[in-house]
Chains A and B, each alone.
Chain A
Amino acid sequence: MTTLALAVASVAQAQAQAQARASAKASTRDPRFALKGGWTDAQQAISNLSLVAHREKPEGFANAANLGDFALLNGDLAFDGKTMIQGGFHGFQVWDISSPSNPTLRLAFPCPGGQGDPSIYKNLLFYSVEENRGRVDCGAQGVEATASAERFRGVRIFDISDLDHPKQVAAVQTCRGSHTHTLVPDPKDPGVVYVYVSGTAGVRPSAELAGCNDGSPANDTSIARFRIDVIKVTVADPQSARVVSSPRVFADRTGKAISGLWKGGTHGTGTQETSETDQCHDITVYPAIGLAAGACSGNGILLDISNPANPKRVDEVIDPNFSYWHSATFNNDGTKVLFSDEWGGGMGAKCRDTDRMTWGADAIFSITKRKMTAQGHYKIPAAQGPLENCVAHNGTLIPVPGRDIMVQAWYQGGLSVFDFTNPKKPVEIAYFDRGPIDTKDLALAGFWSAYWYNGNIYGSEIGRGLDVLELTPSAFLTQNEIDAAKSAVVAGLNPQLQEKLVWTPSFVVARAYLDQLERDAGLPAAQVTAISASLGMAEQQSGPARKALLTSLGARLDKSAIGAKGAVRVRALSATVKGLAAAAE
């Protein structure tokens, strides 16, 4: 089906859904509504989370006279071991997070140029630059000439072997700069990493960077729009990094037209106006399933990335509620993808009780045989005021086994933790929010990113610094589920690069599944109680006794699964129990 046919087919459906949801409104009775504002003393609302640390922006990274100063916005986060890099428009900050409740600033490194999205691969830090003021030498004075070899727009590469003294070892220029980027490790060679560059700013003059062309797609196939750029980096020789391909991932099926996807405009009466598809904002890669999800201005697309230098589009979707396709997150088993709409570009107050709940929201799609099907939407249920820029932004999965749970930043709408296991009816679990940063004017602030990393949620606050939070148990999420999530430890985390999360069989993972069976009545209550007792007994034993008890429990669970409402979960529990049995010596 062509995009156009898809558009026609989904308009009727979209209008029906829009009508059904016409009465759905953001709540003004939510504690997050009408919080008192302030830079450092805003009122806060928090639910099922605890704020374990807050750190102000470092010296030189804030401007009290202009709280939304674009030159100084905090941006995205990348993690490696006990280190977190907080990017931003003015430079990056290196945090020691050995103790998450006591993050320590190790280095504030000015290197202006926005957005400063960071990623880390081995000893290299990758860093996006798109603004006109960006300089190769990281200087802050900008570039006077309109075409200059001093200007830098693209991806910087720093060697951060010595975290206290980052050394810029390469800087790869691109025609539209780099708004965001995504690392794609070479599946065959750990010494090679590819970088997908998403440029969204204007095209540079060819006098500044040869080959950059800002023509019309109809009569010119060499233009710098309607493509992504792929940089190949050899870790041992970063100086050789260069753009190796510029895939035309929006081309029509015949390959003749480079602008084969959404042309921009509305989808019919009462629908949103969607941007033209001439760029990706984010490309989220999930190497474990060989796919990437591109949030590409007017479309959500799926790419086959088995050959990282030449991603191939395998599917595309539209959503008549979307203004600008911004970001994407797969669920862990790769059967769903959640796209976010950045209606208003992040600068608008789009969570007022007058704004639609399906606009500026997340749209969840199921994935079957590499085809996406629309399921439902999620938007924070709380209304926000006119001084709070608010729309869906960056988040990650929270590794609770057996459920699809995510934490997401909503700018001045705060951060929200929600469950999208049922993609038609996502449910909020927890939140944290502050009142507006500026009590008189709409200033760009709030959470840029909110990411789960090895047991805590880290929020990059655009105007206020850094927040670290911890989940607390509630009716929506038990302590066992939280502890199971904490057991899925990763070595590092980069934006838009998803790793398959795995849980080593443990009693806490087993109990997390059991709590879910109890909550959803996936097994009769008496059985849940009996299984819990068996788990408890097994845990008190060791060696062959434990092994015997767990083996027998595993067999019982396999029987219970047959015909059970929660059969899938019971089998997951059984696998965990058998894994524990195997580990018992």
Chain B
Amino acid sequence: MASRFRCAVGIFLPMLRLRYLCLASAIAFGAAGASALAAQPPVASVTPAVTPADIRFMQEMLGHHAQALEMTALIATRTRRVDLQTLAERITNSQTDEMALMRRWLARQGATVPETHVMSAHDMSATAGMSDADAMPLMPGMLTPPQMAALRAAKGAAFDRLFLRGMIQHHTGALTMVAALLDTAGAAQESGINRFVIDVDADQRAEISRMRRISVRR
């Protein structure tokens, strides 16, 4: 993969096949020290490197989002509540858009883009693997296989309850993942992923508070 940015001065260091780090600049600007405010324009346009934690976050979040789509795919056949259908449509849209963005971002980094496959409500079987995500360890908030099985088996009011509870759990997990990434040294510095986590955080918070209100109403 070609270097995205040129280094006017410095040593090109291939980092995990991801991006090249311009060492000389990094060293020069690490030494701000005494007059911290003095803006020192860099000689070359470098941006902070994408880290392994960033890549892992995006890969894991893809699987995490894929489970939300598995859940919303159940809505049509298991509930008649219009508010849940509207909510599910919104979640489907936002998670689908974000998944496309994550795939593009990962591809651009030359990183593996995990396969995700969402089962439709029709071809559901209790044992079928839903996605590669199922093969991955469960990310925070993801429903366990028994929880998913219970959701699939439920109908009507019981389904509504399990769906809301499950989706709140799921989305809360996404917030945990974002917080963990932001708590990782060097992570979320690249502008694309920085923007993405801001949006994910805002969207999931909004959807959680909306689900809580729906829960309270019932």
Contacts and interface: CB of A to CB of B under 8 A. Distances in A.
Interface of A: 60-61, 63, 65-66, 69-72, 89-91, 109-112, 114, 131-133, 135-146, 150, 158, 166-171, 200-202, 263-266, 269, 273, 275-276, 345, 347-348, 441
Contact of A61 (B36, B45, B108): B45
B42 A139 contact: yes
A345 B98 CA distance: 12
Given A348-B97, A441-B104, A137 B37 contact: yes
Contacts of B26: 141
Nearest to B42: A140
B195 A202 contact: no
B171 to A, nearest CB: 13
Contacts of B97: 348
A265 B182 contact: no
Contact of A201 (B39, B40, B198): B198
Tell me whether chain A's interface is mostly helix, strand or loop, or mixed.
loop
26 contacts: A60-B45, A63-B5, A70-B194, A71-B191, A91-B41, A111-B39, A114-B194, A132-B189, A135-B29, A136-B32, A138-B39, A138-B40, A140-B25, A140-B42, A141-B25, A141-B29, A141-B30, A142-B186, A158-B39, A166-B39, A168-B37, A201-B198, A264-B206, A266-B90, A269-B86, A276-B205
Contact of B41 (A111, A142, A143, A145): A111
Interface of B: 2, 4-5, 25-26, 29-30, 32, 36-42, 44-48, 82, 86, 90, 97, 101, 104, 108, 178, 182-186, 188-192, 194-195, 197-199, 201-202, 205-206, 209-210, 213
Given A111-B39, A138-B40, A141-B30, A263 B199 contact: no
A132 B178 CA distance: 13
A141 B46 contact: yes
B37 A110 contact: no
Contacts of B197: 202
Contact of A269 (B82, B188, B189, B190): B82
Contacts of A275: 202, 206
Instruction: Give the one of A112, A137, A158, A441 with max B CB within 10 A.
Output: A137
Contacts of B32: 135-137, 139, 150
Contacts of B206: 264, 275-276
Q: Which 5 A-B pairs have the closest CB atoms?
A: A142-B48, A139-B29, A70-B191, A142-B189, A60-B45
A333 B126 CA distance: 66
A133 B185 contact: no
A263 B194 contact: no
Given A109-B39, A137-B38, A137-B40, 18 more contacts: A69-B192, A70-B194, A71-B47, A90-B45, A91-B41, A109-B41, A132-B189, A133-B189, A133-B191, A137-B36, A139-B32, A140-B45, A141-B46, A142-B186, A150-B32, A171-B37, A269-B82, A347-B101
B48 A133 contact: yes
A143 B191 CA distance: 13
A380 B197 CA distance: 31
Contact of A146 (B90, B183, B191, B205): B183
A167 B39 CA distance: 7
Contacts of B82: 269
Contacts of A137: 29, 32, 36-40
B41 A110 contact: yes
B191 A114 contact: yes
Nearest to B189: A142
Contacts of A146: 182-185
A140 B47 contact: yes
A63 to B, nearest CB: 6
Contact of B209 (A168, A273, A276): A276
Contacts of B37: 136-137, 168-171
Given A136-B36, A150-B32, A202 B183 contact: no
Contacts of A110: 41-42, 45
A502 B195 CA distance: 41
Contacts of A63: 4-5
Contact of B195 (A70, A141, A144, A167): A70
B136 to A, nearest CB: 25
A143 B210 CA distance: 35
A137 B42 CA distance: 10
Given A202-B182, A269-B82, A71 B190 contact: yes
A158 B38 CA distance: 10
Contacts of B46: 140-141
Nearest to A225: B205
B48 A141 contact: yes
B39 A132 contact: no
A66 B3 CA distance: 11
Given A133-B48, A139-B40, A142-B48, A69 B185 contact: no
Nearest to B8: A60
Given A133-B189, A263-B213, A142 B38 contact: no
A269 B194 CA distance: 34
Contacts of A111: 39, 41
B41 A138 contact: yes
B108 A131 contact: no
B47 A133 contact: yes
A345 B185 CA distance: 28
B163 to A, nearest CB: 17
Nearest to B45: A60
Nearest to B192: A70
Nearest to B196: A70
Given A137-B37, A140-B46, A141-B25, A273 B90 contact: yes
A263 B199 CA distance: 18
Nearest to A145: B185
A139 B31 CA distance: 10
